[in-house]
A and B are shown apart, each in its own frame.
Chain A
Amino acid sequence: MADGGKVVKRAKYKSSVKVPGVPGVLKMTRERFYFMPNDPTLTTKLNVEFKLIKGHKFSKEGSSKQALLNLTQDQGGNYLFEFDSFPDRDQCRDFVASAIAACGEVGKATSEKPAVPHDEQLSATEMGRRIKLLQENSELQKLHRQLVIGGTLSEAEFWAARKKLLEQTENKKPKQRVALKNDMWSVKPLSDGQTNRVTFNLTPEVIHQIFAEKPAVRQAYLNFVPGKMSEKEFWTKYSRAEYLHSTKNIVAAFAEASEDEELAVFLKQDAMLASEARKKIRRVDPTLDMEADEGDDYMHLPDHGLPQVETKEILEPQYEPFKRSFSQYLNQHAAVVLRGRVIDVELGDTRSVAEAFTRTNQAELANDVSDENAYRERINKVTRVAEIEDLQGPRDPPVALLSIKDPRDYFDSQQANAMKALGDAETGIRQLKFSVSKEEAFCSLKDSISEINSQGLIEPIISPEVALKVFNGLSQNISSTKYHLGKNPHESVLDQLPSATKNELLLHWTSIQELLKHFWSSYPITTKYFYTKVTRLKDAMSQIYPKLQEMKESVQSDMRHQVSLLVQPMLQALDAAFAHYDADVQKRSAKSGERPNGFV
């Protein structure tokens, strides 16, 4: 009695393993399960959602044991059923397992919906991450307590600004895309040694690789299958061609190809590849000198130092198209692996794989056509780089000579400034009214020198009173400069404040920053939601405002100046926000007549 959607089985509901239990019917659907006792008077009816079921246990199969199924509930309770037979139990168990899994997925899907700024339902892991962050960062915790629990910001808003923090703690690995296999599918035919049979193993993965590396094979597949030959014939032919190649008998290959034109397709060199290679070479930066690179080659060996696998015999020109170089194959393989999986098709269907490849190729070709301009650019580049210097005219940058008429201008602006800084603008401006002739001036100077020459130094050089005065002046000056705080980055004003004030200041500062961040990010107001949020934020900020004023007045007089200096920028930032809010409200009220649905 079971179909895909539900299972109905005879079972006994038991409160524990030992008791005989209530016989009845257990019915399970995708969402919930019901239990109806045979005796309708009993009250042990059950109707439980699978959402609430966390897991299930079951007894092992054995002759002497009961067929038990135990469903554990989220909150800790459990439901124990005994079935008549083990197959019955197993069917129920499988159904339960899939039902629980389905419920879990649905639950997860709802919690992972992009955060609509409403209180979304959170998965336990997300919640745990947030709690962990709060525990690790006490500052964040304080802010969270004040703003979220205080009701200014919703939980979602608070965390929306900190997605990065959350993501850092998350160490989920992105799902990895499997790249192409790096090993080359070298056709190692399996021969059993006795008969002449040679076996090739072709898997969808290998076919994918062949198609990616050999466009000619892909083209041939699309042309021949299924019109001219069956898929099996096609691959047999291909394998034969590969076998011929592996024997390295070019002459034999030529002979076979002249008999069978389809086989010849595989044996000849890939024309599509060749044209693609030519195109690529044309796209190489023209300034790259490939000739010059030849010197870097491995010991100047042909074929880049790869061991020579080809026979060195001289071939007649008719065999030329059947020659294949190992390095060509290696390069093509590397290019394909590096490009990665370009098609997104199930590997099973060979035809669709081939078609998908052709489509991507055509898209690339279309790109090439639009590369006409790029070609012209390359030509330009060549001419620019390969410029012959002798033929160019002198190319001096246009220069205007700097002529400063009067450096006095610079001086005056500096002087005015410096005098202002030193606080004696009067003496700076005052011109000494003084005039003396040259002889007079120099004579008095020389007199002074000869005076000291004849009399020696003044004895004593300095009187004790003057020295004391100087000392007092200097030490006062020095101790007063100590109070010019904030000029020295090493001593912070904050450190000199009492720690309570300091903490309060810091807290206010962080919360104001948080509020302002949310405030400004809500503009322009496009929805009702932003409007209410901005109003809420504005109210919270206007509550902080008087607190700052209060704090400024509460501190001691000698600290008040410093505190007000610190508080000033906060107040300014808040004022700017308020001004913006008011202006916006005015604009909206003016516009509201024209646009009633709240768009700015």
Chain B
Amino acid sequence: MSFYFAIVGTKDNPIYEAEFGTSKQGGDGVARFREEQRSMNQFIVHSSLDIVEEVQWATPTMYMKCVDKFNNLQVSCFLTAGNIKFLLLHDQKADDAIRQFFTDVYDLYTKTLMNPFYEVDMRITSGVFDGKVKQAAKKYL
């Protein structure tokens, strides 16, 4: 099982992305996407943005579960209060684990935002942030 995770800003601009594999059932946490699949991932996630924008007015929850499907791939979305989208591409259903993962990333994102040198929609390049996201992925996915 492999995952592609992206954080998209309010102007549909990517501010962070990462790839990782499952660490459950003896997985080593390394993403195994085929080379041609990797660019497709970005397309699939990007195309799901339209659906997110529709769903977000129908449900007031932050975690919107699976919003889009493409072949055997699913896109789950978490929308923060400030309209920052967390999008996770995955190939198996795991609602609860993904919710916990998103909750952890929300915590990290909020901490990033508290930094006065960071502004909304700016790319997140902090190595500590990256490490913590991967840690959360290892813990839950």
Co-assembled chains A and B: no
